[in-house]
Homo-oligomer: A and B are copies of this chain.
Amino acid sequence: MDGTRTAACLAVGTELLGAARLDRNSLRIAGRLADFGIEIVEKRVVGDDTGRIADAVTELLDRADVVVVTGGLGPTSDDVTREAVARAVGRGLEHDHEVESWIRERYRQLGREVPPLAMTMARVVDGSRPLRPDRGTAPGLMLTTRGRLLAVFPGVPWELDGMLERDLVPELEMLQPGLRRVSRTLLLGGVVESDTEERVRHLYDRFGRENVSILASAGVVRLVLTATGEETTAHHHVGEMEHAFREVLGDDVAGCDVDGLADVVVDRLRQGGQTLAVAESCTGGMLGAAITAVSGASDVFRGGVLSYADDVKRDVLGVSSDDLRHRGAVSEEVARSMAEGVRRRIDADWGVGITGIAGPSGGTEDKPVGLVYWAVAGPAGCEVRHRVFAGDRERVREWSVNSALDLLRRRVEGAGS
A residues neighboring B (CB under 8 Å): 15-20, 22-24, 26-28, 30-31, 34, 39-47, 49, 52, 56, 59, 63, 213, 215, 224, 278, 280, 282-293, 295-298, 301-309, 311-312, 316, 345-347, 358-362, 393-394, 397
Contact = CB atoms under 8 A, between A and B. Distances in A.
Given A42-B46, A284-B297, A305-B316, 19 more contacts: A15-B213, A17-B30, A17-B40, A17-B41, A22-B26, A44-B45, A283-B289, A284-B285, A285-B286, A285-B287, A285-B289, A293-B397, A295-B361, A298-B308, A303-B308, A303-B316, A304-B306, A304-B308, A312-B346
Contacts of A24: 22
A52 to B, nearest CB: 7
A17 B278 CA distance: 39
A297 B283 CA distance: 12
A311 B303 CA distance: 10
24 contacts: A17-B39, A17-B41, A19-B30, A22-B24, A41-B46, A42-B47, A43-B44, A282-B292, A283-B289, A284-B291, A284-B293, A285-B286, A285-B290, A285-B291, A288-B308, A289-B289, A293-B397, A295-B393, A302-B312, A303-B309, A303-B316, A304-B306, A305-B316, A316-B345
Contact of A19 (B28, B288, B305): B28
Q: Which has the most chain B C-beta neighbours within 10 Å: A290, A295, A393?
A: A295
Contact of A42 (B41, B44, B293): B44
Given A292-B283, A305-B306, A42 B52 contact: yes
A282 B293 CA distance: 9
A299 to B, nearest CB: 11
B22 A27 contact: yes
Nearest to A26: B22
Nearest to A342: B306
Contacts of A30: 17-19
A29 B368 CA distance: 34
B18 A34 contact: yes
B280 A285 contact: yes
B289 A284 contact: yes
Q: Which has the most chain B C-beta neighbours within 10 Å: A46, A284, A295, A306?
A: A306
Nearest to A345: B316
Q: Which has the most chain B C-beta neighbours within 10 Å: A292, A297, A302, A305?
A: A292
A371 to B, nearest CB: 16
Given A284-B297, A360-B295, A27 B19 contact: yes
A60 to B, nearest CB: 10
A34 B52 contact: no
In the complex, the 5 A-B pairs of residues with the closest C-beta atoms, listed nearest first: A284-B292, A285-B288, A285-B285, A19-B31, A304-B306
Given A19-B34, A295-B393, A307 B303 contact: yes
Contacts of A282: 292
Nearest to A287: B285
B306 A303 contact: yes
